[in-house]
Each structure stands twice: as C-alpha cells, then as structure tokens.
Amino acid sequence: DYWPNRGHMDVQGLTVKYTEAGRAVLSDISFSVEGGHSVGLLGRTGSGKSTLLSALLRLASTDGDISIDGVSWSSVSLHSWRKAFGVVPQKVFILTGTFRMNLDPYSRHSDEELWRVAEEVGLKSVIEQFPDKLDFQLEDGGYVLSNGHKQLLCLARSILSKARILLLDEPSAYLDPITLQVLRKTLKQSFSDCTVILSEHRVEPLLECQSFLMIEGSSIKTYDSIQKL
C-alpha cells in the first residue's frame, strides 16, 4: 500500500518502437529522476517526448527496465503500475460518463471534495454551466469541452487519485496564460511532494524544474540547469 513512496524513477536501457520492424523512436536510453523533483522534458516536434511518457505508462512496446522506488515494472501488475501515475496527455480523450465519473472513477470522494478540486483547477464555473452539473453526461470524447478544459479535468483526477508521479504533456499548448498560472499554483499546492515530468516547448513553464531531459535523435541527455541547454 505504501508503494510508491518517494516516486524515484530509474530508467535503464529503454528502447521504444511502435512496430516490431520499425525504427526505434528512443534507443537504449537511461536516466534517473529524483523522488519529488520536477523534471522538464524537451525536444523538437517528433523527437519522442509523448512516446517516452507513453512508455513510462507501459502503453508502448518497450525493451529495458523501469523501476519506481526500487520496484521494477516487471514485478507489479499493469494496474498497480499505472495507479502510481497521474497523467495530463497532449490530446485528451474523455471517457463517456459524467463529470463525476471522469473525476473520480472509483467513487472514492464526496461531492464536496470533487467541487473543491474542481475549483482548485479552475473547472468549477465550467461544470456549473452544464445542466445536472457533476452528473452531466459527457459523450463522444467530451467534445463539449475544449482541450484545455479536458487537460484540467485530467489534472483534477490526478489530484484526487493522489498520484505520486505526474506526467504532463505540453499543457501550455492549449492553456491560456491565466490557466497556466492556475496549473503552476496547483503543482505547488497539490503536487509539491510529487515527482513531476513536464514536457514543454516553451521555456517559461519549465523555470521551476530542478532538472531537464533533452531528447535528440533517439537518445537522451540530462541537464541540471536550464542555462546549460
């Protein structure tokens, strides 16, 4: 029950391909992330940032080993592995179901808590606009919501699930400057002890990261300051 505790990640010799015969998008990469640190993930368009985040979630076919707090992904179930993570994808697909179900898939939280978290991420006024509020049914990937709002919904879900490791894939692409401030505040408030991997093209959202990963030509480099990039 107490795993993961610190959220320390070790990635060893990770190779990721989309097809058996295809080229490796990431080839034999290794790096570590300190538990509780925020790491900026950089690289050109198509370099493999989203691919790396999918691989961490075991959504892509991979060789190599990843462990969290010393526990290898080969020794825990897929379900337990994924439960360690909160994810805000680049393009969000919302499951058909109510706001409530999307925020709290296992019905673990009171309405009061759902509203508190919705407010924290700036979604309260959005949900209030819909008839039935939390019971409003989202259909067809949640097309009634903007992509930015869908990302905030994922963020709220990650707060509620008390994820130890948060993966954020280019949140700034769809969020306006005010919403980005909300995201920043949330990272400080609700994810201050968590390990955060933040994929970004822009420098500004990365300023609070303690280290950086740069993907270039299917390999990865680690930097401890943004000036060195």
User: What is the contact surface with Mg ion in residues (CB under 5 A)?
Assistant: 49-50, 90
49: closest CA among 67, 26, 29? 26
What binding mask, one character per residue, do residues 31-50 give for ligand ATP by CB under 6 A, x or -? ------------x-xxxxxx
223: closest CA among 67, 39, 15, 47? 39
Which of Mg ion, ligand ATP, none lies near 217, with the C-beta cut-off 5 to 8 A by kind?
A: none
Which of ligand ATP, Mg ion, none lies near 13, with the C-beta cut-off 5 to 8 A by kind?
A: none
Q: How many residues bind ligand ATP (CB under 6 A)?
A: 11
Q: In sequence order, which residues have a C-beta less than 8 Å from that of residue 60 and are 6 or more positions away?
A: 16, 17, 18, 51, 54
Q: Residue 49 Cβ, how far from Mg ion at the closest point, in Å?
A: 5
Is residue 193 within 8 Å of 163, Cβ to Cβ? Answer: no
18 binding ligand ATP? (CB under 6 A): yes
89 binding ligand ATP? (CB under 6 A): no
* Count of C-beta atoms within a 10 Å radius of residue 226: 14
Q: How many CA atoms lie within 13 A of 186 on its CB side?
A: 29
205 binding ligand ATP? (CB under 6 A): no
Q: Residue 162 Cβ, how far from ligand ATP at the closest point, in Å?
A: 27
Phi, psi of 202 (to 5 degrees): -95, 150
- In the bound state with ligand ATP, the residue whose beta carbon lies nearer, of 22 and 131, is 22
Q: Residue 50 Cβ, how far from ligand ATP at the closest point, in Å?
A: 3
94: closest CA among 136, 143, 21? 143
88 binding ligand ATP? (CB under 6 A): no
Cis peptide before 131 (omega within 30 of 0): no
Q: Note the maximum CA span of the chain.
A: 51
- In the bound state with ligand ATP, the residue whose beta carbon lies nearer, of 21 and 178, is 21
25 binding ligand ATP? (CB under 6 A): yes
Interface residue list for ligand ATP (CB under 6 A): 18, 25, 43, 45-51, 90
